[in-house]
């Protein structure tokens, strides 16, 4: 299946701007959500669920619970990645004393498996949000079937594009943060130092909203297996 990567990027940028649009109270609530991190993860669940326009910040109890569930999903997949890494790399370490080539092959296989688990985890998180079921995040056959509908090549390429865009995005935003805090520091001294972590939280928020919207659209490009996501105008 062919993915319109340009449309994905444009929609994700527009969606992120819409999510961040609002007065200082809106931004303050977002910063508080980021500090009380289950709340912001619950907000990410709403994004992956397909809310258009960008979801509001109401219903803190539901946000908190959904955020905890999403954290469980990520911790489970991270735990799996660590087990695989320790098992295979431990084996590679034993083999290194006997056969360097075999050890190198095992290390390469470990790396590939970790990437595959990470790729599955991205779509598993979206599936959990859309199906509103924690169990569905671990329905591996269904997640793999969704990726198959997207197309493994298209999916992997979409993630390569995402990582490149996020890297450039972060470079620009972090540079602006240091520029702003540096200028404020020259004028107001220690205020610039205290402002730095707040602005870095804001940067991370921008990046995550973009990423979750992007991955939601990638998931939806597989069409079957979930309700359709309306693309933001």
> Residues of the chain with pLDDT > 70: what percent?
79
Report the pLDDT value the prediction gives residue 224, as an integer from 0 to 100: 47
Q: What angle do CA 71, 27, 182 make, to 5 degrees?
A: 100
> Residues of the chain with pLDDT > 90: what percent?
45
DSSP 135: G
**φ, ψ for residue 54, nearest 5 deg:** -50, 140
Residues 79-93, mean pLDDT to the nearest whole number? 76
C-alpha torsion angle, residues 118, 119, 124, 126 (rounded to 10): 110
**φ, ψ for residue 139, nearest 5 deg:** -85, 75
Cα separation values, 188 from 38, 88, 178, 181, 193, Å: 34, 53, 15, 10, 10
User: 68, 74, 108: which is closest to 91 by C-alpha?
Assistant: 108
> Tokens at residue 72, please?
């469980």
Which residues are CB-neighbours of 88 under 8 A, at least 6 positions away?
Answer: 106, 107, 109, 110, 113
pTM: 0.83
Identify whether the C-beta of residue 95 lies closer than 8 Å to the C-beta of residue 103: yes
Report the pLDDT value the prediction gives residue 150, as an integer from 0 to 100: 93
Tokens 């693309």 -> residue: 231
| pLDDT, tens only, 112-169 | 888 999 999 999 999 999 999 999 999 999 999 999 999 999 999 999 999 999 999 8
Q: What angle do CA 214, 198, 53 make, to 5 degrees?
A: 35
Q: Is the pLDDT of residue 79 over 70?
A: yes
Identify whether the C-beta of residue 146 lies closer than 8 Å to the C-beta of residue 226: yes
| pLDDT, tens only, 16-70 | 999 888 777 888 888 888 888 899 999 999 999 988 888 888 888 999 999 999 9
| pLDDT, tens only, 153-206 | 999 999 999 999 999 988 887 787 777 766 665 555 566 566 666 677 777 888
Query: Domain boundaries in the chain?
Result: 5-220
Report the pLDDT value the prediction gives residue 185, as an integer from 0 to 100: 58
């Amino acid at each position: 299946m062919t993915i319109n990567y340009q449309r994905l990027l444009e929609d994700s940028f527009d969606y992120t701007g819409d999510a961040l649009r609002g007065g200082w109270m809106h931004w303050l609530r977002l910063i508080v959500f980021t500090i009380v991190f289950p709340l912001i993860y619950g907000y990410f669940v709403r994004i992956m669920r397909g809310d258009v326009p960008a979801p509001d910040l109401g219903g803190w109890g539901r946000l908190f619970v959904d955020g905890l569930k999403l954290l469980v999903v990520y911790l489970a997949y991270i735990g799996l990645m660590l087990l695989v890494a320790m098992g295979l790399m431990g084996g590679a370490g034993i083999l290194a004393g006997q056969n360097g080539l075999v050890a190198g092959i095992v290390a390469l296989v470990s790396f590939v498996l970790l990437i595959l688990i990470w790729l599955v985890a991205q779509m598993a998180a979206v599936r959990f949000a859309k199906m509103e079921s924690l169990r569905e995040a671990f329905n591996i056959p269904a997640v793999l079937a969704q990726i198959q509908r997207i197309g493994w090549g298209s999916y992997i390429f979409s993630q390569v594009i995402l990582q490149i865009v996020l890297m450039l995005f972060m470079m620009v935003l972090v540079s602006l943060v240091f520029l702003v805090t540096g200028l404020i520091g020259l004028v107001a001294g220690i205020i610039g130092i205290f402002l730095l972590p707040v602005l870095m939280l804001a940067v991370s928020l921008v990046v995550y909203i973009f990423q979750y919207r992007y991955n939601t659209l990638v998931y939806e490009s597989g069409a079957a297996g979930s309700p359709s996501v309306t693309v933001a105008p």
